[in-house]
Structure 1
């Protein structure tokens, strides 16, 4: 592994790349801010840990992946349309 693949501050942390659609990223960004996370990375690490520690919830992540794939096949939509379509309102 090259030095650029690791965080400069902690040699035990690896950096990864994640590709997701822009509409889904907008929902992710709104979600981490609304839920009080300090950053997108912190929220994604939390979500990954949660899915590993609670595999019974894996269906949720599969559903999210399917939703993202469906979004990739359509024209751009707003975050509100995504919430409405996929029932992601936290209210």
Structure 2
């Protein structure tokens, strides 16, 4: 964990610590993302995205795979940016397919 994670929420009896295994490169991506997005810590960022995933289950695992694939393509130069409207259409298609 990063230094920014230490001690946060340790005194809250409702808080439970969990452990997960990630590849080093994925953890590096997570760390870059939480810092870029202005979160105070890795833990705060992970709680936020977990809460969002639980509260908004309409965005499916397949949708997340598409986002990850697109992000990889952008980083490697294999794909180009898509418009906001195209993204909304893809999400709507995913929801309609349920």
TM-score of the pair, normalised by structure 1:
0.60
Alpha-carbon offset, residue 8 of structure 1: 4.1
Alpha-carbon offset, residue 58 of structure 1: 2.7
Over the aligned positions, Cα root-mean-square deviation in angstroms equals 2.9
> C-alpha deviations, 1:17-51, integer Å up to 9, x for none?
01100000000000000000000000000000000
Question: What is the rounded CA distance, in whole Å, between the counterparts of 1:82 and 1:46 in structure 2?
Answer: 25
TM-score of the pair, normalised by structure 2:
0.56
Kindly report structure 1 stretches of 4+ aligned residues shifted beyond 6 Å.
Answer: none
Question: What is the rounded CA distance, in whole Å, between the counterparts of 2:45 and 2:54 in structure 1?
Answer: 14
* Structure 2 stretches lacking a partner, 5+ long: 1-8, 82-98
Aligned residues: 67
Residue 84 of structure 1 is matched in structure 2 by 75
Question: What is the rounded CA distance, in whole Å, between the counterparts of 1:13 and 1:22 in structure 2?
Answer: 26
* Greater C-alpha Rg: 2
* Structure 1 stretches lacking a partner, 5+ long: 1-6, 68-80
